[in-house]
């Protein structure tokens, strides 16, 4: 079998690695050159895009910002999974909010803003602590602005003056005082079978994910069920096929959806070591119409992102239960270079292992690691 992935970054690479044992060949499309490349070496393959599309069993994406002309071409084959509407929901916060509202899924209070003067009404309706998000092309906290006090409004308006809000509106959200950030990774296959993973707890720094712990600590059955039910509502409502990530804010015993990612997700990388079946394998199974794999956790695990850091000692692999995933990219500030998965028999042992890990890493790049290690111990 073969699957073509739009995008040629680390997610396509990890799908390729997961597909190999199943005999599923994964090819990647470099969306800047419209060429088919090997997902690991990134070297061009001896096949044209149209040949690859024709021979593939399924077409999928590793990110939601694939140019629409490519998505249209892919959709025409009838093999694009998830479908184009689901991908565009992930690429456009206005569509995303409308979908959540139409399905009755709890999310952050918000307004869609197409002219700067509407911001005054936002303050009246939502209060003076706001987060403004460009409706398109934002990720890792880029394309966001914050208002913490009404007095900042004039200067905020000045910094937004060059944006064309008629074309790319802002989604203005009330700042939520959540207890913590969680995510649910789930998967639905072509036949409609659904499985969800245990909730993961995510620690961010400057808008970027740094550490995930899964299963999240202190999750009772009701909370996991609430997350599962949100997933089922969304996946069935969208007739979704593949892995879908749901970013959540926990406020007391209630979950609010922050955003959706119609693809395998960074906060699901722990599943490579911490679950019976990884999110990458399950995504391939889903789009190929195969039975889904067990999504149970095998024990507590953590995923530590390597961000903007190009060198550290590989001796960290001496920690039992640690695994390195290196993406092979050139180093750049704030760029995701790789990640480390760590599994342990208990949360306490996981905390000890994260402390051990911290001794091998330049900690200026890992601002959340020590704090999380201490919390778990």
Binding residues for ATP: 93, 133, 138-144, 173-176, 181, 204, 258-259
Distances in whole angstroms, Cα of residue 242 to Cα of each of 120, 226, 236, 284: 40, 20, 12, 7
Distances in whole angstroms, Cα of residue 17 to Cα of each of 12, 78, 199: 9, 25, 24
Task: Please report whether residue 34 would count as binding ligand ATP according to CB under 6 A.
Answer: no
Residue that has been written with the tokens 């659904």 in this structure = 194
Number of residues binding to Mg ion, judged by CB under 5 A: 3
Please state the closest distance from residue 209 (CB atom) to ligand ATP, in A.
6
Q: CB-wise, 258 or 301, nearer to ligand ATP?
A: 258
Q: CB-wise, 316 or 369, nearer to ligand ATP?
A: 369
Residues numbered 224 to 253 that lie near Mg ion (CB under 5 A) are: 247
Please state the closest distance from residue 291 (CB atom) to ligand ATP, in A.
30
Give CA 232 to chain center in angstroms: 18
Contact partners, residue 314, CB within 8 Å, separation at least 6 = 324
Sign for the CA dihedral angle at 304, 308, 310, 313 comes to: negative
Task: Find the part of the chain contacting ligand ATP (CB under 6 A) among 27-35, 140-148, 191-199, 275-283.
Answer: 140-148
CB contact at 8 A, 248 and 255: yes
Residues numbered 145 to 174 that lie near ligand ATP (CB under 6 A) are: 173
Q: Is 195 helix (H, G, I), strand (E, B) or coil?
A: strand
Token readout for 82 is 């998830």
Query: How far is 24 from 46, CA to CA, in rounded Å?
Result: 18
Please state the closest distance from residue 133 (CB atom) to ligand ATP, in A.
6
Q: CB-wise, 87 or 131, nearer to ligand ATP?
A: 131
Task: Please report whether residue 140 would count as binding ligand ATP according to CB under 6 A.
Answer: yes
Among 40, 106, 176, 356, binds ligand ATP (CB under 6 A): 176
CA proximity to 292, closest of 193, 186, 185, 184: 193
* β-bridge mates for residue 185, sequence order: 245
Binding mask 233-272 for ligand ATP (x = CB under 6 A): --------------x----------xx-------------
Residues of this chain that interact with ligand ATP (CB under 6 A) are: 108, 131, 133, 138-142, 173, 175-176, 181, 204, 207, 247, 258-259
Residues of this chain that interact with Mg ion (CB under 5 A) are: 139, 247, 259
């Amino acid at each position: 079998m073969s699957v073509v992935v739009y995008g040629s970054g680390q997610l396509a690479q990890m799908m390729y690695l997961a597909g190999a044992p199943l005999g599923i060949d994964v090819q990647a499309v470099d969306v800047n050159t419209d060429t088919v490349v090997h997902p690991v070496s990134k070297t061009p393959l001896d096949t044209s895009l149209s040949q690859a599309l024709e021979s593939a069993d399924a077409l999928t994406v590793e990110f939601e910002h694939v140019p629409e002309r490519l998505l249209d071409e892919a959709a025409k084959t009838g093999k694009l999974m998830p479908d184009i509407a689901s991908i565009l929901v992930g690429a456009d916060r206005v569509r995303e909010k409308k979908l959540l509202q139409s399905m009755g899924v709890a999310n952050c209070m918000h307004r869609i803003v197409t002219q700067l003067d509407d911001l005054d009404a936002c303050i009246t309706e939502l209060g003076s602590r706001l987060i403004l998000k460009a409706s398109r092309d934002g990720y890792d906290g880029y394309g966001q602005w914050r208002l913490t006090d009404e007095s900042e409004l004039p200067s905020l308006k000045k910094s937004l003056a060059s944006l064309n809000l008629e074309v790319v509106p802002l989604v203005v959200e009330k700042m939520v005082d959540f207890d913590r950030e969680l995510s649910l990774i789930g998967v639905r296959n072509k036949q409609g079978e659904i499985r969800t993973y245990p909730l993961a707890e995510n620690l961010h720094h400057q808008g970027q994910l740094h550490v995930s712990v899964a299963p999240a600590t202190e999750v009772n059955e009701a909370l996991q069920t609430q997350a599962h039910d949100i997933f089922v509502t969304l996946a069935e409502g969208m007739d979704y096929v593949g892995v879908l990530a749901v970013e959540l804010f926990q406020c007391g015993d209630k979950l609010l959806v922050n955003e959706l990612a119609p693809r395998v997700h960074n906060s699901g990388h722990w599943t490579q070591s911490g679950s019976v079946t990884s999110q990458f394998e399950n995504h391939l199974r889903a789009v190929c119409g195969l039975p889904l794999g067990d999504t149970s956790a095998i024990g507590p695990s953590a995923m530590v992102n390597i961000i903007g850091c190009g060198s550290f000692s590989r001796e960290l692999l001496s920690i039992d239960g640690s695994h390195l995933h290196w993406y092979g990219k050139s180093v750049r500030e704030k760029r995701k270079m790789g990640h480390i998965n760590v599994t342990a028999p208990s949360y306490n042992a996981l905390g000890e292992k994260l402390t051990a890990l911290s001794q091998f890493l330049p900690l200026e790049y890992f601002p959340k690691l020590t704090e999380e290690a201490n919390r778990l111990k």
